């Protein structure tokens, strides 16, 4: 059985086609768009919230999207342990929805940044990073104006202790430095998971580096990790 | 009642034009009718001064499916059931008044031009000109324009993949902001902006109509202006979110086969949109402005017809298809309103509820008078052509000059600009901004790739309008060829001063002639374009600045080339003749920066240019090259240094520079040259191919190491050159 991926489409979402092409075209798995007005996502094994400017990102990025019908269904899907990955605007929506801790503020430079970026893998775990090594450096680009991660001291201590920090911005050699931080994020945090580990948000764009023609394949490794986890899940269910 | 001069000034019509209207309609027009004429007879919509000249452009070609002028943009076939449509347009005047919104709505407008053809916008490029960054005003304009392009383009999910940014005193107070959009069109999805079926409905989609932008076409874009504050209400405000959903809804509607036609609302708003559709279809129209959703109370029919509120599209739909089209727009929550019908009698009737507010024959309305006032060769040309060149500087300064040139905002990396634009969304971008002479986008649908570049050099056109015009076309196409692509077609934006001045008209006339000759020599038709005249402040015209957008095709995406040296020990060669004399320095960045002078007479041999471009494409196809980079601003030494710093690979010259002035050899800007690198074992094949193509070829040296060395002249560390190149623009901005 091949896994089935749902790619959420809000008005203003623009990485939807890129995710579909990555999952369907490169990974070879089934993909469907899920329009924001839909209320049933039970047919999917994994949900993706792509990048973009959902509802124009008016008020705050992700602030309006959290009230859309599909988000209620997505929350239930996540609560039941279904894997959810949100990139860029998807990360913002997940934080605004309370599915992930912390918040994403305006970049410290006050400017949009689209550039190559290195990430250090902080935690190796299913379903998102099982195929990586701890401390490994991935090259996955960023493209955002509001990626400055913040959490209060208590939250930060808690997510550190729980191992919820998935990726940090780093330099090519893996050093987590101020210079390698593209947006002012607290402790260079680039991606976090929920406590159960089945919801991941990250600012970088894995779907943009899934083929050598696009300049790299490190993003594909996240997709392959998810796919492996889904296969194990379906095997254990059928067993 | 005779019309007042004040009214005519407001709509930018002359007394003679008014009299012509009266004689054509055989009565005095009322206020609304006069507004319609003012808009459609504006330079911006009617091309009064440029149309006769633009006829000189070649517009046909093997791959051209729709020619320039027939529709919003020409359509060029690229095989595999696909076509590209592309167009460049100016938003200079709005950007001078309000840089953020001016630039943002420039992006929005050109995207809708492409959308109107039924094409998915897949790339944006822009060409920007500002005054020097040493004044706060110019820095404000620069920052505002870049922020506006970034704010709008990033939100709509169309990658901004390339462009150019240059600085010169002539653009102080009158920046140039040209935006280009490229769209991809499956055969069969082409939409015509024509209302051919009487009985069909006009549906207005998108934003409500407000008072913003009234007189944008006739006022801002069609005359010079000094009092910028007074003009602020004529600048529109963009809503990129609405544009994004409008794109999706319109593309879905276009693909559904339910539309007769589609048209954007740009300059002169509903007026030009509706009237041009009817004119193309040979039909008439009835519009009721009372049905148009408003943003403000109390708007007059005149204001509704002339508003340039953004994010609006016009659909032409048969009544039986209306419900199905409405369902598409409802799904995207985009407002859609029926505002009128297509009629069969060739007359435009504008109603305000039951009241008839205007009634004019459409053919009369869209037939703007055309002027060919004739030009006078500007007196400054002879003086600049014969001005003696300054003597060569001390060769001991070569390294320092190279660093200065690399750091000058005209040459330095534009990373501070393009990193603010999402240039990767839609995952097609193979050669990214700054990495090559052209952006290269793969076509997921077929194994080919597109190469895109915009180019223009006002300094050269000012020095010689004919040659400068030809050079703009040549360089844009050369950039595409250097990336490995065969140039397919070009689009152009002509940024000039007031054409009623004989010297400006001469520049326009000569420049177009030069561009047309270059297009013929290189085999590229002009498929679309835009004319921006009246670029003047305080009575001074900007440099005549044609900007050319070129689109090329790579048969195999894997052949795409960047500009960076790729490997240690690669051979580095120069393709093209490279004289080291006074003439080579004409209009060069070196002359401007080091000697503070703009002089000389640029020259180009278009046959040699065509040979070079064919050679570059052939070498890429044979996969003989590791990199290719044309020699332009800053000349040969800068081209070599850029390839080195981009690749992080040094260079050691073999000491066989062209004989003559050392400064002309290093920094002269003779066109039709490119620096290429290849495996040492392939160098002889490259030389043989060049011989066969009739292109001079010289071994310059070897790539490798951490220094940049031209024996006897330059010996610099690669890190210092990289710092100059990558940090130059930011330092100028923060100085």
ipTM comes to 0.96
Pairing status of strand B355-361 against strand B347-352: antiparallel
Pairing status of strand A142-144 against strand A103-105: unpaired
C-alpha B135/C-alpha B148 separation (Å) is: 20
- Whether the pLDDT of residue B77 is over 90: the answer is yes
C-alpha B731/C-alpha A218 separation (Å) is: 34
- pLDDT per position as a tens digit, B602-649: 999 999 999 999 999 999 999 999 999 999 999 999 999 999 999 999
Q: How confident is the model at residue B203 (pLDDT cuts 50, 70, 90)?
A: very high
The length of chain B is 735
C-alpha B125/C-alpha B178 separation (Å) is: 8
| Alpha carbon distance, N-terminus to C-terminus of chain A | 14
Interhelix angle B606-621/B465-482, rounded to 10 degrees, is 10
C-alpha B481/C-alpha B620 separation (Å) is: 9
**Minimal C-alpha gap between A102 and chain B (Å):** 24
Mean pLDDT of chain B: 93
Which domains does chain B show, CATH number per domain?
Answer: 1-41+191-368 (3.90.650.10), 389-412+562-735 (3.90.650.10)
Stretch B453-462: mean pLDDT, rounded?
97
Q: Could you confirm whether A205 is annotated as catalytic?
A: yes
The domain segmentation of chain A, as residue ranges, is: 4-238
Q: Interface of chain A against chain B, CB under 8 Å? A: 11-12, 14-15, 17-18, 21-22, 25, 35, 51-53, 55-58, 111-115, 141, 143, 145, 205, 207-208, 213-215
C-alpha B159/C-alpha B121 separation (Å) is: 9
pLDDT at residue A111 in the model: 96
Pick the closest to residue B525 from B557, B556, B550 (CA basis).
B550
Torsion of CA B487, B491, B496, B502, to 10 degrees: 80
Our CA angle for B204, B207, B210, nearest 5°, is 105
Distances (CA, A) of B144 to B91, B101, B154, B381, B730: 13, 8, 15, 35, 15
Contacts with B420 from chain A: Cβ below 8 Å: 111-114
Pick the closest to residue B217 from B160, B152, B162, B266 (CA basis).
B266
C-alpha B244/C-alpha B390 separation (Å) is: 54
Interface test with B, best of A7, A60, A112 (most B CBs within 10 A): A112
Show the DSSP H helices in A113-216 as ranges: 153-161
Higher pLDDT, B74 or B390: B390
Kindly determine whether residue B245 and residue A21, on different chains, have CB atoms separated by under 8 Å.
Answer: no
- Residue B286 pairs in a beta bridge with B341, B349
Pick the closest to residue B701 from B726, B670, B730, B680 (CA basis).
B680
pLDDT at residue B224 in the model: 52
Residue of chain A nearest B418, judged by CA positions: A114
Minimal Cβ distance to A114: which of B242, B331, B424: B424
Contacts with B425 from chain A: Cβ below 8 Å: 14-15, 18, 51, 143
Contact B671, B474 (CB under 8 A): yes
Q: What is the CATH number of domain A4-238?
A: 3.40.50.880
pLDDT at residue B231 in the model: 47
C-alpha B406/C-alpha B594 separation (Å) is: 12
pLDDT at residue B72 in the model: 81
Sign, CA dihedral B54-B55-B58-B63, equals positive
Q: Rounded to 5 degrees, what are φ and ψ at B460? A: -70, -35
Distances (CA, A) of B724 to A193, B402, B405, B413, B628: 41, 9, 9, 9, 22
pLDDT at residue B216 in the model: 60
Kindly determine whether residue A18 and residue B239, on different chains, have CB atoms separated by under 8 Å.
Answer: no
pLDDT at residue A239 in the model: 42
Neighbours of B685 (CB within 10 A): 14
Instruction: Provide the chain B residues 407-436 that lie in CB contact (below 8 A) with chain A.
Output: 418-427, 429-430, 432
C-alpha B249/C-alpha B115 separation (Å) is: 11
Kindly determine whether residue A12 and residue B154, on different chains, have CB atoms separated by under 8 Å.
Answer: no
Which parts of chain A have pLDDT scores under 50?
238-239
Contacts of B450 (CB under 8 A, 6+ apart): B78, B84, B123, B182, B440, B441, B443, B485, B551, B552, B553, B554
Contacts with B426 from chain A: Cβ below 8 Å: 17-18
- Whether the pLDDT of residue B217 is over 70: the answer is no
Interface test with B, best of A17, A213, A219, A220 (most B CBs within 10 A): A213
Task: Find tokens 């209320």 and name the residue.
Answer: A39
Whether B610 and chain A come into contact, CB under 8 Å, resolves to no
Contact B612, B695 (CB under 8 A): yes
- Whether the pLDDT of residue B495 is over 80: the answer is yes
Contact A128, A228 (CB under 8 A): no
Pick the closest to residue B292 from B359, B211, B199, B217 (CA basis).
B211
Kindly determine whether residue B241 and residue A55, on different chains, have CB atoms separated by under 8 Å.
Answer: yes
C-alpha B203/C-alpha B250 separation (Å) is: 12
- pLDDT per position as a tens digit, B44-62: 788 888 888 999 999 998 8
C-alpha A41/C-alpha A31 separation (Å) is: 12
- pLDDT per position as a tens digit, B658-679: 889 999 999 999 999 999 999 9
- pLDDT per position as a tens digit, B225-249: 444 434 445 678 899 999 999 999 9
Q: Rounded to 5 degrees, what are φ and ψ at B183? A: -125, 155
Contacts of A200 (CB under 8 A, 6+ apart): A83, A84, A85, A86, A128, A166, A191, A192, A193
Stretch B367-386: mean pLDDT, rounded?
93
Instruction: Provide the chain B residues 324-383 that lie in CB contact (below 8 A) with chain A.
Output: 331-333
Kindly determine whether residue A12 and residue B155, on different chains, have CB atoms separated by under 8 Å.
Answer: yes
pLDDT at residue B229 in the model: 39
pLDDT at residue B149 in the model: 98
B423 CA to centre of own chain: 17
Q: Could you confirm whether B187 is annotated as catalytic?
A: no
Minimal Cβ distance to B245: which of A11, A111, A112: A11
Stretch B508-522: mean pLDDT, rounded?
97
Helix (H, G, I), strand (E, B) or coil at B186: strand
pLDDT at residue B68 in the model: 80
- Whether the pLDDT of residue B101 is over 70: the answer is yes
Whether B448 and chain A come into contact, CB under 8 Å, resolves to no
Contacts of B563 (CB under 8 A, 6+ apart): B435, B436, B437, B482, B627, B628, B629, B642, B643, B646
Q: Could you confirm whether A160 is annotated as catalytic?
A: no
Stretch B172-197: mean pLDDT, rounded?
93
Task: Find tokens 């790579």 and name the residue.
Answer: B554
Q: Is B434 left (phi over 0), alpha (psi -120 to 50) or beta?
A: left
Contacts with A139 from chain B: Cβ below 8 Å: none
């Amino acid at each position: 059985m091949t896994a089935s991926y749902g790619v959420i489409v809000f008005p203003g979402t623009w990485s939807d086609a890129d995710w579909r092409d990555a999952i369907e075209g490169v990974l070879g798995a089934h993909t469907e768009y899920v329009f924001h007005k839909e209320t049933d996502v039970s047919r999917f094994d994994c949900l993706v919230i792509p990048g973009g400017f959902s509802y124009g990102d008016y008020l705050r990025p992700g602030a309006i999207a959290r009230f859309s019908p599909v988000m209620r269904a997505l929350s239930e899907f996540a609560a039941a342990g279904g894997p959810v990955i949100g990139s860029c605007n998807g990360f913002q929506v997940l934080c605004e929805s309370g599915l992930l801790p912390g918040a994403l503020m305006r970049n410290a430079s006050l400017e949009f940044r689209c550039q190559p970026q290195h990430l250090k893998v902080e935690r190796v775990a299913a379903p998102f990073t099982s195929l990586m090594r701890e401390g490994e450096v991935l090259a996955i680009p960023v493209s955002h104006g509001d990626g400055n991660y913040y959490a209060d001291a208590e939250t930060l201590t808690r997510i550190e202790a729980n191992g919820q920090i998935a990726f940090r911005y780093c330099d090519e050699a893996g050093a987590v430095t101020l210079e390698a931080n593209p947006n002012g994020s607290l402790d260079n945090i680039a991606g976090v998971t929920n406590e159960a580990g089945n919801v991941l948000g990250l600012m970088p764009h894995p779907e943009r580096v899934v083929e050598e023609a696009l300049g790299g394949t490190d993003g594909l490794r996240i997709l392959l990790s998810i796919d492996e986890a889904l296969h194990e899940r379906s095997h254990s269910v059928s067993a | 009642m005779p019309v007042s001069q004040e009214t005519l000034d407001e709509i930018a019509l002359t007394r003679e034009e008014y009299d012509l209207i009266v004689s054509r309609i055989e009565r005095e027009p009322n206020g609304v009718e006069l507004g319609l004429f003012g808009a459609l007879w504006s330079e911006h919509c009617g091309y009064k001064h440029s149309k006769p000249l633009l006829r000189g452009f070649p517009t046909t070609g093997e791959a051209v499916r729709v020619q320039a002028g027939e529709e919003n943009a020409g359509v060029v076939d690229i095989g595999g059931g696909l076509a590209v449509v592309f167009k460049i347009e100016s938003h200079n005047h709005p950007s001078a008044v309000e840089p953020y919104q001016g630039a943002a709505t420039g992006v929005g407008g050109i995207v809708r031009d492409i959308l109107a053809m039924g094409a998915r916008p897949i790339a944006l490029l822009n060409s920007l000109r500002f005054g020097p960054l040493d004044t706060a005003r110019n820095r404000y304009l620069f920052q505002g324009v870049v922020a506006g392009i970034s704010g709008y383009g990033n939100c709509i999910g169309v990658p901004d993949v390339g462009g150019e940014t240059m600085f010169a005193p002539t653009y102080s107070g009158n920046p140039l902001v040209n935006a280009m959009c490229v769209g991809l069109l499956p055969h069969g999805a082409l939409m015509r902006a024509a209302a051919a079926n009487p009985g069909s409905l006009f549906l207005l989609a998108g934003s409500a109509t407000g008072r913003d932008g009234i007189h944008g076409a006739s006022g801002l874009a069609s005359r010079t202006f000094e009092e910028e504050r007074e003009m602020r209400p004529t600048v529109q405000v963009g809503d990129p979110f609405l544009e994004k959903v409008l794109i999706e809804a319109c593309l879905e509607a276009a693909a559904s086969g339910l539309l007769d036609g589609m048209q954007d609302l740009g300059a002169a708003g509903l007026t030009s949109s509706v009237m041009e559709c009817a004119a193309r279809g040979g039909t008439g129209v009835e519009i009721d402005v009372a049905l148009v959703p408003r943003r403000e109370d109390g708007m007059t029919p005149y204001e509704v017809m002339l508003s340039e509120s953004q994010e609006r599209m016009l659909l032409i739909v048969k009544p039986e298809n209306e419900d199905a089209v409405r369902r598409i727009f409802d799904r995207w929550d985009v407002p859609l309103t029926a505002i009128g019908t297509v009629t069969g009698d060739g007359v435009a009737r504008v109603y305000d509820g039951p009241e008839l507010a205007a009634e004019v024959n459409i053919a009369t309305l869209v037939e703007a008078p055309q002027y060919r006032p004739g030009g006078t060769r500007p007196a400054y040309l002879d003086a600049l052509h014969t001005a003696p060149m300054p003597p060569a500087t001390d060769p001991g300064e070569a390294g320092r000059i190279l660093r200065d040139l690399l750091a000058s905002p005209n040459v330095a990396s534009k990373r501070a600009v393009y990193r603010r634009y999402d240039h990767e969304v839609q995952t097609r971008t193979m050669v990214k901004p700054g990495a090559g002479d052209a952006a290269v986008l793969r076509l997921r649908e077929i194994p080919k790739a597109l190469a895109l570049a915009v180019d223009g050099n006002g300094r050269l056109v000012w020095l010689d309008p004919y040659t400068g015009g030809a050079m703009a076309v040549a360089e844009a196409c050369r950039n595409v060829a250097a990336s490995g692509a065969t140039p397919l077609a070009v689009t152009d934006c002509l940024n000039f001063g007031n054409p009623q001045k004989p010297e400006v008209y001469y520049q326009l006339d000569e420049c177009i002639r030069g561009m047309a000759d270059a297009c013929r020599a290189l085999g590229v038709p002009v498929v679309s374009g835009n004319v921006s005249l009246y670029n003047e402040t305080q009575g001074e015209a900007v440099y005549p600045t044609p900007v050319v957008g070129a689109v090329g095709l790579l048969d195999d995406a894997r052949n795409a080339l960047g500009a960076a040296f790729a490997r240690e020990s690669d051979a580095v060669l120069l393709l093209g003749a490279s004289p080291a004399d006074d003439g080579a320095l004409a209009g060069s960045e070196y002359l401007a920066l080091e000697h503070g002078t703009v002089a000389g007479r640029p020259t180009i041999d278009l046959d040699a240019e065509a040979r070079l471009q064919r050679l570059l494409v052939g070498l890429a196809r044979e996969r003989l090259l590791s990199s290719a980079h044309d020699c332009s601003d800053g000349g040969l030494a800068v081209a070599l240094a850029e390839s080195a710093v981009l690749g992080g690979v040094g260079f050691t010259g073999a000491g066989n520079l062209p004989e003559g002035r050392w400064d002309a050899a290093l920094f002269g800007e003779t066109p039709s040259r490119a620096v290429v690198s290849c495996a040492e074992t392939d160098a002889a094949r490259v030389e043989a191919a060049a011989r066969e193509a009739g292109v001079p070829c010289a071994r310059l040296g070897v790539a490798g190491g951490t220094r940049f060395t031209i024996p006897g002249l330059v010996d610099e560390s690669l890190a210092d050159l990289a710092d100059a190149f990558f940090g130059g623009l930011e330092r100028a901005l923060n100085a």
